Chain A
Amino acid sequence: MKADPAGVLTGAHYLDGDFACGEGAMAAGCRFVAGYPITPSTEVVERIARRFPMMGGTFIQMEDELASMAAVVGGSWTGTKSMTVTSGPGFSLMMENIGLAAMMETPCVVVNVQRGGPSTGLPTMVGQADMMQARWGSHGDYEVIALCPQSPQEAFDLTVDAFNLSELYRVPVLVMMDECVGHMTERVMIPPPEQIEVVPRTLTTSPPEQFLPYRVNGRVAPEFARAGDGYRFHTTGLTHDERGYPVMSAECQETCVRRLVEKVRGNAQKIVRFEETETEGAEVVVLAYGITARVARMGIELARRKGVKVGFLRLIVAWPFPERRIRELACKVKAFVVPELNFGQMVLEVERCAAGKAAAVPVPHAGGSVHDPGDICEAIVRAAR
């Protein structure tokens, strides 16, 4: 369906990534946000807090990030699209209820504007070191979807996509921004509502006496009933059966958890998204995401001037990872060069998928600033030798 015009600020704007992300959420139909202030993400909810009262949305500033994430899961069970926004330290606290959202199959969006870590780290400065936490941060086996915008425009676009994906797969979807993209101001085009495709919450049409909250029946995710419609369903963070009732057995664990994992893994080819340029005939492929993708372009340009054939693969969806494409490319190139603002996270995934057929060269950076493009160029040149 098309976006609700009330949430869409159509036109050309000059916005930073945080504001654009907030606009994306409102355009996607988000009407409940619970958050806790944390630099460098706070502007997202500040934008929303200012605009929500005019469009039927409710924002609440909770007492901490544990509460914010719990409230978002509760909010989503009313059918109201829900989101929270944070950065590293808050993201750590949210892990508990991101796991609950995954287990209860609750559509919701979590934005993490990444800053330098660990611990309090660099509150006002950039990092990309939460990428593995996004994938593995809560205990147990589950799958999420994570998106990485490289610009304010993408902060808008991908936040809309994040809501749509969360509705389709009933998983928490993480928008893994970074401080640079969050605080960089650029032109953002917000289309008219009729040009914004929005996946609505689809409610079950089964009568309550026949409804089972976790029966899949060949669909990607179970049918949804919201609180207050007379279904009187039960849902729990415990391992559960189709009725949503707890069952403490290895058999039920197998069925329940396998499905949580498979609904994303089994559809990975539909979910993965990347931008690929000049990989045909390349000796080296640079893989990057977020702000580092933009810095990497300069490094690639410098390496090309030195005669190296360099391709570029920019992750738009980081999780699930474009495993198949990396395997294919690994058979054709000498090496992947992976600059990221951490000491090697997504590069591990590249290394795993390349499986020894091509080298995976990290270009580590602790964060606080972006890479020097010269360092990326140097890594490319060395990898091509």
Chain B
Amino acid sequence: MSTVADRPEVRPEEHPVAPYIRMDRMPHIWCPTCGIGTVVKCYATALGESGVDLDKVAIVSGIGCTGRVAGYMKLDGFHTTHGRAIPFATGLKLGRPELLVTVFSGDGDLVGIGGNHFIHAARRNMDLLVILVNNFIYAMTGGQNGPTTPLGAKSSTMPFGNFERPFSLPHLAASCGATYVARWTCLHIRQLTKSFREAISRKGFRFIEVITPCSTLYARLNKLGTGLNLMQFYHDNAEVRHGADTREVDIAFQDKLVCGKFLDEERPTFLDMMHEHYRRILGDKYVPMPPQGGMIRG
């Protein structure tokens, strides 16, 4: 969350996104110049602009720095187990299909320990908005190597530099069946907010990767300066290429960052496919779960 320390005349409750945030939990745990707060602000702004009923929005996080987002947003928020945000969110969506379910978590959580769930949710085109904050490292636990650490970058468990090939996440998502795929850095506030707004209005498995600085670990271990230096780096090296072939958007260490909306198409979601199929096969005998869920009322 952007602080208002430099503007003492503005009270925290008056911050434009305060209605979306659990202000009773501020200050948050994120380090100075961490990018996660900016991503949260863009998401909150997009929620407001999209006019969705916030009572019907659920947010699910796994474990890690970004894993704390679900606890700071004033929504039905679930802080789950490491890597399992996507299957947990799948349960929420299928248990009450009218919910708008957002998964908000980090790279290690969603594509490291949770990688299997990520690819299968994309394959099913499960109706989830997945926001992945990529800081290139396991930050909460102290800077260990992750599935997104660029080749050559140092981490606490690859002290001589990483020699494992990282995932290119837009390519992973697109090739597994995601219907909306975008990448931004947390410097691209307007584009990112617009992307969130767009993705909120779409259906199916929507994936947005956001590159953020981790000045405490990634930048320090790699002598990249402060968070501000990294923002400067994003400014100088981000290249917006909408519709880029996702096979060509790999991220190399301190190299150009291809950003933009790579994919935006409509395909039936898991629930669309299920309803359509059962209606065709079972006809009138098919009783779908009501949008408000299969709860039996006492």
Q: Identify the A interface with B (CB < 8 A).
A: 1, 4, 6, 29, 31-32, 34, 53-58, 60, 62-64, 66-68, 70-82, 96-97, 99-100, 198, 200-202, 226-238, 245-246
Instruction: Give min CB distance, A247 to chain B, whole Å.
Output: 11
List B contacts of A80 (CB < 8 A). 95-96, 289, 293-295
Q: Is the CB of B80 within 8 A of A57?
A: no
Kindly identify which residue among B76, B120, B274, B278 contacts A227, using a CB–CB cutoff of 8 Å.
B76
Q: Please, which residues of chain A bring their CB within 8 A of the CB of B224?
A: none
Stretch among B133-141, B180-188, B210-218, B280-288 lining the A interface = B280-288
Chain A nearest CB from B43 CB (Å) reads 15
Identify B286's interface contact among A53, A62, A81, A246, CB under 8 A: A53
> Do the beta carbons of A76 and B88 come within 8 Å of each other?
no
Q: Given that A64-B116, A70-B80 are known contacts, is A56 also in contact with B289, CB under 8 Å in the complex? A: yes
Question: Which residue of chain B has its CB nearest to the CB of A238?
Answer: B79
> For residues 81 through 111 of chain B, which have their beta carbon under 8 Å from a beta carbon of chain A?
81, 83-84, 86-92, 94-96, 98-99
Residue ranges of B at the interface with A (Cβ–Cβ < 8 Å) = 22, 25, 54-56, 58, 60, 70-71, 74-81, 83-84, 86-92, 94-96, 98-99, 116-117, 120, 270, 274, 278, 282, 285-290, 292-298
What are 18 pairs between A and B in contact, CB < 8 Å? A31-B294, A32-B289, A34-B87, A34-B90, A34-B94, A54-B287, A74-B60, A76-B95, A77-B91, A77-B92, A79-B96, A198-B296, A227-B58, A228-B96, A232-B74, A233-B76, A245-B71, A246-B71
Contact (Cβ within 8 A) A232 B99: no
Instruction: State the 6 A-B residue pairs at the shortest beta-carbon distance, nearest first.
Output: A74-B91, A31-B294, A200-B298, A78-B95, A71-B91, A78-B96
Contacts of B96 in A (CB 8 A): 78-80, 226-228
Given known pairs A67-B120, A232-B75, A234-B22, the reply for A32 and B91 (CB within 8 Å) is: yes
Which of these, B99, B278, B298, contacts A78 with CB under 8 Å?
Answer: B99
Shortest CB-to-CB span from B109 to chain A, Å, is: 13
Residues of A within 8 A of B274 (CB): 58
B63: nearest residue on chain A (CB-CB)?
A237
Q: Within the assembled complex, what's the spacing in Å between the Cα atoms of A345 and B116?
A: 34
* A73 touching B77 in the complex, CB below 8 Å, given contacts A67-B120, A228-B55: no
Chain A residue numbers with a CB within 8 Å of B296 are 1, 4, 29, 31, 81, 198, 200-201
Interface contact B98-A63, CB-CB below 8 Å: no
Q: By CB atoms of chain A within 10 A, which of B58, B77, B92, B290 has the most? A: B92
Q: A residues within 8 A CB of B76?
A: 77, 227-228, 231-233
Tell me whether A58 and B120 are in contact (CB under 8 A).
no
Residue pair B25, A82 in contact (C-beta under 8 Å): no
Enumerate chain A residues within 8 angstroms of B88, measured Cβ to Cβ. 70-71, 73-74
Residues of B within 8 A of A237 (CB): 79-81
Which chain B residues lie closer than 8 Å to A229 at the CB level? 55
Report the minimal beta-carbon distance from A203 to chain B, rounded to whole angstroms: 8
Contact check, B120 vs A63: say whether CB atoms are below 8 A apart.
yes
Bound Cα distance from A97 to B82, whole angstroms: 10
Instruction: Point out the residue from B95, B120, B278 that lies within 8 Å of A79, measured CB to CB.
Output: B95
- A62-B58 contact in complex given A232-B76, A245-B25, C-beta closer than 8 Å: no
- Chain B residues closer than 8 Å to A234, beta-carbon distance: 22, 70-71, 77-79
B294 near A57: Cβ-Cβ < 8 Å: yes
Contact A81/B89 with A53-B282, A226-B96, A246-B71 known, Cβ cut-off 8 Å? no
B146 to chain A, nearest CB (A): 19
Q: Which residues of B contact A74 (CB under 8 A)?
A: 60, 78, 80, 87-92, 95
The residue of chain A having its C-beta at the shortest distance from the C-beta of B298 within the complex is A200
A52 to chain B, nearest CB (A): 9
B92 near A56 (CB under 8 angstroms)?
no
Closest Cβ of chain B to A93, distance in Å, is: 11
- Residues of chain B within 8 A (CB-CB) of A73 are 80, 88, 91
A78 to B288, CA, bound (A): 16
Shortest C-beta distance, B59 to chain A (Å), equals 9
Give A233 to B76 CA distance when docked, in angstroms: 5
Which of B58, B120, B270, B294 is within 8 Å of A81, CB to CB? Answer: B294
- B90 with A228: CB separation less than 8 A: no
**Is A100 a contact partner of B294 (Cβ separation < 8 A)?**
no
Compute how far the CA of A93 lies from the CA of B29 in the bound complex, rounded to whole angstroms: 31
A29→B290 CA distance, assembly (Å)? 14
A60, B94: Cβ atoms under 8 Å? yes
Partner of A82, one of B22, B54, B75, B91: B91
Contact A75 B81 (CB under 8 A): no
Give CA–CA (A119, B22) in the complex, Å.
Answer: 45
A232 partner residues in chain B, CB cutoff 8 A? 54-55, 74-77
B288 — which chain A residues lie within 8 A by C-beta?
Answer: 53, 56
Which residues on the A side are within 8 Å of B95 (C-beta)? 32, 58, 74-80, 82
Q: Which residues of A contact B297 (CB under 8 A)?
A: 200
Cβ contact within 8 Å between A227 and B99: yes
The answer to whether A77 and B78 have CB atoms under 8 Å apart is: yes
Chain B residues whose CB sits within 8 angstroms of the CB of A231 once the complex forms? 76
Question: CA A383 – CA B286 in complex, angstroms?
Answer: 59
A235 to B76 Cα, complex, angstroms? 8
Partner of A31, one of B55, B60, B70, B289: B289
B117 contacts which of A1, A63, A226 (Cβ < 8 Å)?
A63
Chain A minimum-CB-distance residue to B270: A60
